[in-house]
Amino acid sequence: MAHRWGMAIDLDRCTGCEACVAACHAENNISISTPEQAATGRTTHWIRVDRYYEGTFPDVKVKYMPVLCQQCDEAPCEPVCPTYATYHNPEGLNVQVYNRCVGTFYCANNCPYTVRYFNWFDPVWPEPMQLQHNPDVAVRMAGVMEKCTFCIQRIKRGKDEAATAGQPVADGDIQPACVQSCPAEAMVFGDLNDPESKVSRMAESSRATRLLEELGTKPKVFYLERGR
Amino acid sequence: MASTMYLLSEFRDKEAVAGAIHSLRASGVGDSDIDLFSEEPVEFKRGVLDRPSQMSLAAVLGAIVLGGAATAFVRFAQYNYAVNTGGMPTFSFWGTGVITYEMTMLGAVLATFVFFLWESGLIRKRDKTAPVPVVPPECICLRVRCVSGDVVKPTAILQESGAISVEKKAPL
Amino acid sequence: MYRHIKQPELLPYGKIREDLFRPLSGLTRKYLFAIIAPILVILIGGYAWATQLRYGMGVTGLQRPVFWGFYIVDFVFWIGISHAGTLISAILRLTDAGWRKPITRAAEAITVFALMIGGMFPIIHLGRAWYFYWLMPYPNSRLLWPNFRSPLLWDLTAICAYVTGSVIFLYLPLIPDMAQLAEHNTPWRAKLYHVLSLGWTGSDTEWHALERAMKLMAGIILAVAISVHTIVAWDFAMAIAPMWHSTIFGPYFVVGAIFSGLAGLMIVMAAIRKLMGLELYLTRHHFNNLAKLLLLMSILWLYFTMAEHLTVWYGNDPSEMVVFGARTRARFSTLFWLMVFVNFVVPFVLLGIRRLRNITTGVIASVGILFGMFLERYIIVVPTLSNPRLPAASSTSYAPSWVEIAITAATFAGMIVLYLIFSKLFPIIAVWEFKPHPHEDEI
């Protein structure tokens, strides 16, 4: 049976440390922004940690929520792209084809999670960070939209290695950079079509919910939180 | 062999022209041998000098043809490069109905324009030998083609109807 | 029986022709200045665009989540202006309103030029503009096609159809005038006009065909125009962004387009009346009628604006209420209420009170309306994008950069230049159409 990749994030474990953000940067050749760019909303973080504050000092509560592309099964970003630069692949991933993107920005406007990021200029890395690039991932040019891919390069490698070994892909073999780096092990990645996988079991938890579910996007990232 | 001759006449008054056309037709001159020249359109009552037209039909046909072709092409293209976007169907008439509509309209526009060029005679192989009168301001020129070369009767009719001047001209 | 009344329609044909052909010859200093200044502005705009192409969209003020800004506002604005010609030419032609006659060509010219300018923005706003042709379906080595489900493809087809139709609609009634011009002109121009007039002789066959074609085109172009701005509106309405996903957008934009188009038309009319000495042909009667139409559209615009905002406020959807608050109470409130003021209050006073209604106040109201409609498009685009559904991603700092402002200014300059060139090549009032037929019978 074909894979259907999904992710579960346990918000009760998340500490907001942003290791996932850093790991994603390193893995996916994401450009590093200057303070001026950060001030004008031009940073690129394929996964970002949203913070919501409740109450006033000293009774402040902070909620952390890592938000990444939800790989929606009925993604609103896909039908509006005039060049098919973003579409749904048979494994349920919302793929972004960099060299087909003309930069109409429609996908980013239609994404209710605001998880799409644009290359306003050609990317820059302060020396010597450009030596750290991941050769498995393209470096995008100015004018192209990008977003989280569930580390499709790791998925591909995992599938290739399993095929070489003549085994099916085992649960936990493939881990995107963010999942791999989380010190609290709050993130789980796997095949939703496999009922025994950890992510499927977590998705069925009574604590599980999805972000902006009511919009009908059918996202594949499950957030687990006590009190649901 | 009897040679074709043309009569160029000038009129000031629209009613007089209508009368002249009526009389000419009564004497056997066909509609295709009568031409009016003016600097602005001259409008008559129905029946005086009608030119049948298929332009509306052409517009409708052009609309249907281009609209249908565009829809068929969209359907072909969506299936030819079938990609899942947001769970939408591979081809949906309503989803791309806008394109059908616009191309239908464009078909009507193009058909109207092409048919105009044809019906007006602007792009047809014209009878270059027919003399074109220079229309003085506020005048209407009536040109009669006398195939048999007999200009006596038509000239008389034109003068009786109130033509300011009648001139006989050979083909160019 | 009306010969003792000196109406322009009853002037001798030769005088009309002379008056309307006179501006076509000779270049005055005023004209040269009027055309060189906008050309300079266009050059600056060109440099701005070159900068953008070289360095990337980062030279604009755009940012996440405001991915559409001034360029899209410009796009909707100019496509809206293009509805001037369609309204005057098509609708008034279909209803046989005689007062439209001296205005139709000027209005149709506005339509064509506004479409040409507006049609550039889908290219200008692209991140990789040099690949704009990928939106067109052509056989290619990658064996793929564009996505016809995308509203942007619908935009493309709609605008293509509209441009084609408008150019033909402008060209057809120009043919008899060009045949006239071919007879009295300088050699190179005579050749140009002779070719363009396709050898028109003024025979009744030609006139019949022309009138029939114009009647058909009027109906078709009206249908196209309404659909075009509806489709532009659907770029927003098909998205699920808060306060965009509304069924009212289609009609709202069409009304707004006719509104802004009429305002643009009034300004152009007043300008050519003054600059080309056409006081006899563009009379207070025409401006009065235009003003009344403008007033009607202003009221209609207010109705749609109120309907949209009332339903959002009453529905109280949280995501939409944030945008609603941003528009009416928070960051964009100054612009919002300014928009209401110049789009409704000023026209209502200046055009609604008969004593105040004249050409000058009409132009003042129209300038205000153009500004107000530009604001309206801005208020539709930016507040929604600034306040996405996930509040952590919201932004308050979009402002247009010099690049966007320069390109916007260049479009206005471009309109002026195109119009100046047009008025030198073709009579701005259709000579043949203007004079009503003496002793007109019932057909």
Q: How does pLDDT run across C330-380, given as a tens digit for each residue? A: 899 999 999 999 999 999 999 999 888 889 999 999 999 999 999 999 999
**Residue A124 token pair:** 């820059």
Query: Is residue C7 included in any domain, yes or no?
Result: no
Distance, in Å, from the CA atom of B137 to the CA atom of A84, rounded to the nearest integer, reads 61
At residue C46 the predicted structure's pLDDT band, cuts being 50, 70 and 90, is: very high
Q: Tell me if A84 and B83 make a contact (CB, 8 A cut-off).
A: yes
pLDDT digits over B129-150, tens only? 788 888 877 788 888 888 776 7
For the segment C119-147, the average pLDDT, to the nearest whole number, is 94
Least confident of A99-108, C84-93, C116-125, C355-364: C84-93
In which residue are the tokens 């065909």 written? C209
DSSP codes, C188-257: HHHHHHHHHTTT---BHHHHHHHHHHHHHHHHHHHHHHHHHHHHHHHHHHTS-STTTS-TTHHHHHHHHH
Residues of B in contact with A73 (CB under 8 A): 87
Residues of C in contact with B96 (CB under 8 A): 148-149
At residue A221 the predicted structure's pLDDT band, cuts being 50, 70 and 90, is: very high
Q: How far is A113 from chain C (nearest CA, A)?
A: 6
Domains of chain C: total: 1
Nearest CA in chain B to C17: B137
Nearest CA in chain B to C211: B41
Least confident of A75-89, A164-178, C387-401: C387-401
Nearest Cα neighbor of B154 from B144, B163, B162 is B144
Whether B25 has a pLDDT exceeding 70, the answer reads yes
For the segment B141-164, the average pLDDT, to the nearest whole number, is 81
pLDDT digits over B94-134, tens only? 888 999 999 999 999 999 999 999 988 888 766 777 888 88
Least confident of A195-199, B150-154, C55-59, C274-278: B150-154
SS3 C147: coil
Whether C8 has a pLDDT exceeding 80, the answer reads no
Q: Tell me if B115 and C213 make a contact (CB, 8 A cut-off).
A: yes
For residue A64, what are the β-bridge partners? A51
pLDDT score for C441 = 34
Q: Tell me if B37 and C161 make a contact (CB, 8 A cut-off).
A: no
Whether A168 has a pLDDT exceeding 70, the answer reads yes
Q: Domain residue spans in chain B? A: 4-39+135-169, 55-119
Whether A228 has a pLDDT exceeding 70, the answer reads no
Whether A138 has a pLDDT exceeding 80, the answer reads yes
Query: Is residue C364 included in any domain, yes or no?
Result: yes
Residues of C in contact with B85 (CB under 8 A): 147, 149
H helices within C130-203, ranges in order? Answer: 151-171, 174-183, 187-196
If you average pLDDT over every residue of chain A, what do you get? 94
Chain C interface disruption, residue of B102, B115, B140, most C CBs within 10 A: B102
Least confident of B17-31, C137-151, C249-263, C423-437: C423-437
- Rounded to the nearest 10°, the torsion over CA C233, C235, C238, C241 is -100
pLDDT score for C9 = 57
Domain that holds residue C348: 21-132+148-425
Q: Tell me if A77 and B86 make a contact (CB, 8 A cut-off).
A: yes
Nearest Cα neighbor of C298 from C366, C361, C246 is C366
ipTM above 0.85, yes or no: yes
Chains with at least 3 CB pairs less than 8 angstroms from chain A: B, C
pLDDT score for C217 = 93
What does residue C208 show for φ and ψ, rounded to 5 degrees?
-60, -45
Q: Could you tell me if A210 lies within 8 Å of chain C, comparing CB atoms?
A: no
Least confident of B129-133, C15-19, C408-412: C15-19
**Residue C255 token pair:** 């009304």
Q: Is the separation of the CB atoms in C350 and C364 below 8 Å? A: yes
Query: Is residue C433 included in any domain, yes or no?
Result: no
At residue C2 the predicted structure's pLDDT band, cuts being 50, 70 and 90, is: very low
Query: Is residue C11 included in any domain, yes or no?
Result: no
Surface of A (99-138) touching C: CB under 8 A = 100-106, 108-110, 112-114, 116-122
pLDDT score for C249 = 96
Nearest CA in chain C to B37: C203
For the segment C126-153, the average pLDDT, to the nearest whole number, is 94
At residue A27 the predicted structure's pLDDT band, cuts being 50, 70 and 90, is: very high
pLDDT score for C7 = 55
Whether C438 has a pLDDT exceeding 80, the answer reads no
Residues of A in contact with B84 (CB under 8 A): 78, 87-90
Nearest CA in chain A to B78: A84
For the segment C88-115, the average pLDDT, to the nearest whole number, is 86
Angle between helices C204-237 and B97-119 (to 10 degrees): 170
For residue C31, what are the β-bridge partners? none
Residues of A in contact with B83 (CB under 8 A): 84, 87-88
**Residue C376 token pair:** 């309206």
Query: Is residue C442 included in any domain, yes or no?
Result: no
For the segment A183-210, the average pLDDT, to the nearest whole number, is 95
**Residue C139 token pair:** 């056989």
pLDDT score for C294 = 94
Q: Could you tell me if B40 lies within 8 Å of chain C, comparing CB atoms?
A: yes
Q: Is the separation of the CB atoms in A144 and A30 below 8 Å? A: no
Residues of A in contact with C151 (CB under 8 A): 80, 106
Residues of B in contact with A78 (CB under 8 A): 84-86
Give me the percent of chain C exceeding a pLDDT of 90: 68
Instruction: Show Cβ contacts of residue C199 under 8 Å, excluding neighbours closer than 6 positions.
Output: B122, B126, C179
Distance, in Å, from the CA atom of A119 to the CA atom of A142, rounded to the nearest integer, reads 5
Q: How far is A174 from chain B (nearest CA, A)?
A: 25
Q: Tell me if C57 and A79 make a contact (CB, 8 A cut-off).
A: no
Residues of C in contact with A52 (CB under 8 A): 391-392
Instruction: Show Cβ contacts of residue B153 under 8 Å, excluding neighbours closer than 6 positions.
Output: B27
**Residue C24 token pair:** 């076509």
If residue C271 lies in a helix (H) or strand (E), which one and from where to where? helix C249-275
Query: Is residue C4 included in any domain, yes or no?
Result: no
Chain B interface disruption, residue of C205, C232, C234, most B CBs within 10 A: C205
Q: Could you tell me if B113 lies within 8 Å of chain C, comparing CB atoms?
A: yes
Surface of C (41-60) touching A: CB under 8 A = 55-58
pLDDT score for C3 = 44
Give me the percent of chain A exceeding a pLDDT of 90: 83
For the segment C283-302, the average pLDDT, to the nearest whole number, is 92
Whether A74 has a pLDDT exceeding 70, the answer reads yes
Q: Tell me if C397 and A41 make a contact (CB, 8 A cut-off).
A: yes
Query: Is residue C395 included in any domain, yes or no?
Result: yes
Q: Could you tell me if B64 lies within 8 Å of chain C, comparing CB atoms?
A: no
Surface of A (144-183) touching C: CB under 8 A = 144-145
> What is the CATH number for C359?
1.20.1630.10
DSSP codes, A10-53: ETTT-----HHHHHHHHHHTPPPPPHHHHHTT----SSEEEEEE
Least confident of A91-105, A206-220, B61-75, C77-91: C77-91
Distance, in Å, from the CA atom of C246 to the CA atom of C236, rounded to the nearest integer, reads 9
Instruction: Show Cβ contacts of residue C276 under 8 Å, excluding neighbours closer than 6 positions.
Output: C23, C423, C428
Chain C interface disruption, residue of A102, A221, A223, most C CBs within 10 A: A102
If you average pLDDT over every residue of chain C, what do you get? 89
Q: Is the separation of the CB atoms in C343 and C369 below 8 Å? A: yes
Least confident of A95-104, A129-138, C7-16, C395-404: C7-16
Residues of C in contact with A119 (CB under 8 A): 56, 127
**Residue B61 token pair:** 């046909």
Q: Tell me if A120 and C393 make a contact (CB, 8 A cut-off).
A: no
Q: Tell me if B126 and C199 make a contact (CB, 8 A cut-off).
A: yes
Whether A99 has a pLDDT exceeding 60, the answer reads yes
pLDDT digits over B39-93, tens only? 888 888 877 777 888 899 999 999 999 999 999 999 999 999 999 999 899 999 9
Q: Could you tell me if C435 lies within 8 Å of chain B, comparing CB atoms?
A: yes
Whether A66 has a pLDDT exceeding 90, the answer reads yes
Specify the DSSP class assigned to residue C98.
Answer: G
Q: Is the separation of the CB atoms in B117 and C198 below 8 Å? A: yes
Nearest CA in chain C to A49: C392
Surface of C (233-292) touching A: CB under 8 A = 235, 238-241
Distance, in Å, from the CA atom of C224 to the CA atom of C220, rounded to the nearest integer, reads 6
pLDDT score for A18 = 95
Residues of B in contact with C182 (CB under 8 A): none
Q: How far is C337 from chain A (nearest CA, A)?
A: 26
Q: Does residue B53 or residue C134 have the better pLDDT? A: C134
Fold (topology level) of B4-39+135-169: Alpha-Beta Plaits (3.30.70)
Q: Tell me if A78 and B84 make a contact (CB, 8 A cut-off).
A: yes
Q: Tell me if A42 and C63 make a contact (CB, 8 A cut-off).
A: yes
Distance, in Å, from the CA atom of B169 to the CA atom of B132, rounded to the nearest integer, reads 10
For the segment C24-36, the average pLDDT, to the nearest whole number, is 85
Nearest CA in chain A to B83: A87
